[in-house]
């Protein structure tokens, strides 16, 4: 054990430095200012995979990694819809997931907002017209924000969260 610790001490840090985007930081700070003002510093999102290929979920995970670190701006993903301020849906909404999605939507407390993330969630994407899907979330529920892309980048997702927050508080 001591041998290993000495090796670690001698080697030092070998990863490259984090190069954060100035645009992403500016977006995040704008998001944070709205969240601090209207949500006591915390905006919770419940993500639901309604039948996606998981590419959108990978981008959501990227938002939580140390490079993007969306939680530093006050946005975090929660496991329960009862703790959420907004619902983020990915995938074309498979027929088997439609009832579950509606149950999750009803569990989100008012006021609540719906975000459709990715081309599949918007209009069915690659899966549009299939007998197994509903061709997007708007066939069941009205989305407040649409995030196009296959998959959308973390910066686009953060920009959509900002758009949602600005829209909610400009009324």
Residue 145 maps to a domain: yes
- Among residues 35, 50, 59, the alpha carbon closest in space to that of 168 is found at 35
Backbone angles phi, psi at 79, to 5 degrees: -85, -25
Domain with residue 70: its CATH number is 3.40.50.12280
Residue 29 maps to a domain: no
pTM: 0.85
CB 2 within 8 A of CB 8: no
- Whole-number average pLDDT of the chain: 90
Residue 96 maps to a domain: yes
CB 91 within 8 A of CB 49: yes
Number of domains in the chain: 1
- Among residues 56, 31, 23, the alpha carbon closest in space to that of 149 is found at 56
Residue 26 maps to a domain: no
3-state DSSP assignment of residue 149: coil
- The greatest distance separating any two alpha carbons of the chain, rounded to the nearest whole angstrom, comes to 63
What secondary structure, in 3-state letters, does 64-111 show? HCCCCCHHHHCEEECCCHHHCCEEEEECCCEHHHHHHHHHHHHHCCCC
Q: How confident is the model at residue 170 (pLDDT cuts 50, 70, 90)?
A: low
Express each pLDDT in 64-105 by its tens digit: 988 889 999 999 999 999 999 999 999 999 999 999 999 999
Q: How far apart are CA 52 and CA 137, in angstroms?
A: 12
13 pLDDT exceeds 90?
Answer: no
CA angle 68, 70, 73 (to 5 degrees): 125
Residue 164 maps to a domain: yes
Q: What is the mean pLDDT of residues 130-156?
A: 92
Residue 35 maps to a domain: no
> What is the extent of the structural domain holding 91?
41-168
Residue 155 maps to a domain: yes
Residue 32 maps to a domain: no
Number of other residues whose CB lies within 10 A of the CB of residue 53: 18
């Amino acid at each position: 054990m001591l041998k290993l610790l000495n090796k670690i001490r001698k080697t030092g840090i070998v990863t490259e430095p984090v190069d954060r985007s100035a645009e992403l930081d500016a977006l995040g700070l704008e998001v944070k200012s709205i969240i601090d003002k209207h949500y006591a510093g915390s905006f919770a999102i419940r993500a639901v995979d309604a039948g996606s290929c998981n590419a959108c979920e990978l981008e959501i995970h990227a938002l939580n990694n140390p490079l993007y670190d969306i939680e530093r701006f006050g946005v975090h993903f929660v496991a329960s819809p009862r703790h959420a301020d907004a619902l983020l849906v990915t995938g074309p909404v498979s027929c088997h997931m439609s009832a579950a999605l509606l149950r999750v939507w009803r569990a989100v407390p008012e006021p609540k907002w719906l975000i459709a993330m990715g081309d599949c969630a918007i209009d069915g994407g690659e899966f549009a017209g299939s007998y197994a899907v509903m061709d997007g979330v708007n066939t069941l529920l009205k989305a407040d924000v649409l995030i196009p892309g296959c998959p959308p980048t973390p910066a686009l997702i953060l920009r959509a969260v900002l758009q949602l927050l600005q829209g909610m508080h400009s009324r």
